[in-house]
Amino acid sequence: MKRFLTAVWALGVAAVALCQLSKYKDWSKSPEAYFLTAAERQEWAKVQSDADAEKFIADYWARRGGSKFKDAVERRIAAADQQFKLRRQKGSESVRGRIFITLGNPTRVSEAHEGGGPGQGQATTGAGAIDSTSSAAVVQTWVYAKDKFDASWGIGELQAQINVDPQRGTDEAVNSGPINKAIEAIAEHTIVNPSGQGVAAVKPAVPAAATGTAPPPPPAPAAAIPAASRAALEPLLKSVSEGPTATFFGGAFRTSTGEPFYAFRIAVPGEKVSAGAAVKLGGVVTREDGSEATSFWEDAALADLRTASHTDKCADHSVVLPAGSYRGAFGLFSADGATALSSVSTAFVLESKPGEWSVSPIILAAGLTPLSKRPEPTDPFVFGTVKVEPKVGGILSGADNFGYFYTVSNPALPAEAAAPTPAPASTPAPGVTPAAAPAPTPVAPRPRIMTRLVVAKDGQQAFLPATMPAELQQLAPGYYAGGSEIPLASFKPGYYSFTLNIRDLNAPKDSTASKGVDRSGQFVVLAADGSMPPTATPVVKTPTPKPRTKKS
């Protein structure tokens, strides 16, 4: 969809390009740079331009084994952002986030409330977390057993004591000296290829804390959700809704490197939210056995959601959890938690299948917003340099700009790209030796995705099915975006549904990718006066009476 997707993508790239001169200014303070050695920090101090910074950062990853190390660090950053977030600080930038990203899961964690009694110890398999809205300040002790790290590194048993004060929104290390010394030792041992050459042939032999070999981090314990709000959310988990609703859209997505997460948007009618009023976003997620997997309670970053003649409010959120089946209840609440403004429940499945072909859910999009800064891997509905704005409820007028959006991971590529046909040689001037024709440039292999769109109105087929090749935009290696505009001017008022079949023409015959998968969506086109169209009246067929025959 050139006008709806590609053009806006170009706008997003241009917006990012405007800040090239300063975009790496604070990189050395970012979570990605936690593994910088003292010598590398001295090198970084000499960097004068963004071009030099890009080369330095590329070498930084290459010395540590390349993409495998980088992907593992990004996974830990996303987990830290989810578990250790504070009121004014990202979780990955907190003291606990830095320790977790560099040293990995502690052997065990204990807690003590300030001023006395011990708190409830956390599980021995991973780090604990205290939600930023909890009223109790605590001292956490993260214990790393002496066998956690290689004995030759000289770390031994490590105890990290951390004061966590949710009211102030801070966490502070009591014994920062031993912690920093351990992090410096880890940083030195992450370098497995000092020259940075031949990265593809290097097998990173780095600590489990920085690679994907360590067990995934545990989810955060129950957040301090107000009792009234929790009482409104927990009953919803018993009967979940199917698919999108008038106030909710959610789906299981993957990052560009294949890690699963769940993203959702929840809306509330504009008249329920006073101008400038604080609103809280809360949620409870449980596993198949009913145990709580995670929960959250945070300030809702509300955005406008224009629907026909009025404007509603909406908030987005991502839930990062290990692969599995879950139920979630989410809601928007008044600041004190006493009033539920909007709430919903849903079931979802997260699958961890890196490297396999997959298609995301369809997002019915009201538009795309270019970004001017680098997003996090699990930011909700962010793809490349733009954010897709889901149209919750799918209520549209004929004047709306509207389209659908999806991503394709790991499509098959042809074994060999076809070479272009060389241009015919021109006749040389008399006495001039013709120059050798340049070798044709091989065409880069591209995925071949075919789509078939079927649209129905009020349960009846509205248009002839449309079969067309997908126009894909590459976001990352093996990761593509596709979609198309929906010209609403040709749609009569009514209730519509559509199914998009997405096939990979390069995939092996009879494979799931070759047969294709279906992705569906629904929307409503309003009447000319902005009112909802009448619901379709079912057609009732009256049976034709059989002719009566005379008895002989």
Are 397 and 330 contained in the same domain? no
Provide the domain count of the chain. Answer: 3
Q: Which of 182-186, 239-243, 543-547 has the highest mean pLDDT?
A: 182-186
8 A C-beta contact, residue 412 and residue 511: no
Task: Flag the least confident range among 4-13, 193-202, 232-241, 265-274.
Answer: 4-13
Same domain for 166 and 153, yes or no, is yes
* Whether 272 contacts 293, CB under 8 Å: no
> CA 334, 340, 344, 347: dihedral to nearest 10 degrees?
80
Reference 128, options 112, 116, 111; nearest CA is: 111
pLDDT score recorded for residue 17: 37
For position 546, what pLDDT does the model report?
A: 54
How confident is the model at residue 444, as a pLDDT?
Answer: 62
Residues 286 and 398 in one domain: no
Q: How confident is the model at residue 203 (pLDDT cuts 50, 70, 90)?
A: very low
Instruction: For 254-316, give the secondary structure using H, E and C.
Output: ECCCCCEEEEEEEEECHHHCCCCCCEEEEEEEEECCCCEEEEEEEECCCEEEEECCEEEEEEE
Residue 239 within any structural domain of the chain: yes
How far is it, in rounded angstroms, from Cα 472 to Cα 534? 37
State the amino acid at position 453 in one-letter form: L
Which of the four pLDDT bands, split at 50, 70 and 90, describes residue 500? very high
Report if residue 173 sits inside a domain.
yes
Whether the pLDDT of residue 138 is over 70: the answer is yes
Does the pLDDT value for residue 222 go beyond 60?
no
Q: Which helix (H) or strand (E) holds 83?
A: helix 67-83
Q: Identify whether residues 48 and 176 lie together within a single domain.
A: yes
Q: How far is CA 364 from CA 260, 361, 399, 470, in A?
A: 20, 10, 16, 17
**Other beta carbons less than 10 A from residue 10's beta carbon:** 13
Stretch among 78-82, 129-133, 183-187, 378-382 having the lowest mean pLDDT = 129-133
Mean pLDDT of the chain: 79
State which residues form the domain around 151: 2-210
Residue 120, pLDDT score? 41
Q: Which pLDDT score is estimated for 552?
A: 38
Q: For residue 145, which amino acid is it?
A: A
Lowest mean pLDDT among 27-41, 388-402, 489-503: 388-402
Verify that 347 and 392 share a domain, yes or no. no
Residues 350 and 362 in one domain: no
Residue % of the chain over a pLDDT of 90: 31
Q: Looking up tokens 């949710």, which residue turns up?
A: 166
The set of residues, in sequence order, having a beta carbon less than 8 Å from that of 545 and lying 6+ positions away, is none
Across residues 71-82, what is the average pLDDT?
86
232 pLDDT tier (thresholds 50, 70, 90): very high
| Higher pLDDT among residues 216 and 61, named by residue | 61
User: Looking at 310, 327, 354, which one is the last position of a domain?
Assistant: 354
Q: Exposure of 284 by Cβ count < 10 A (0-12 exposed, 13-18 middle, 19+ buried)?
A: buried
User: Is residue 426 included in any domain, yes or no?
Assistant: no
Q: Are residues 118 and 176 in the same domain?
A: yes
Amino acid at 122: Q
Q: Are residues 32 and 154 in the same domain?
A: yes
Cα(119)–Cα(108) distance, integer angstroms: 14
Count of CB atoms within 10 A of residue 469's CB? 11
Q: Is residue 216 part of a domain?
A: no
Is 420 within a domain? no
The least confident of 53-62, 82-91, 186-195, 524-533 is: 82-91
* Model pLDDT for residues 150-168, shown as the tens digit of each residue: 888 888 899 999 998 887 8
pLDDT at 266: 95
Residue 409: its pLDDT value, please? 93
Do 381 and 291 reside in the same domain of the chain?
A: no
Q: Which of 378, 327, 322 is nearest to 125 (CA)?
A: 322
The verdict on 265 and 363 lying in the same domain is no
Residue 427 within a domain? no
Looking at residue 135, its pLDDT comes to 54
Give the pLDDT confidence score for residue 127 in this predicted structure. Answer: 39
Strand ranges across the sheet with 340-350: 292-299, 279-287, 324-334, 340-350
> Do 231 and 380 share a domain, yes or no?
no
CATH code of residue 474: 2.60.40.2550
- Note whether residue 544 is domain-resident: no
549 falls within a domain: no
C-alpha 315/C-alpha 248 separation (Å) is: 10
CATH number, position 226: 2.60.40.10
* 302 & 338 share domain: yes
Per mean pLDDT, which range of 106-110, 119-123, 185-189, 207-211 is the poorest?
Answer: 119-123
Length of the chain equals 552
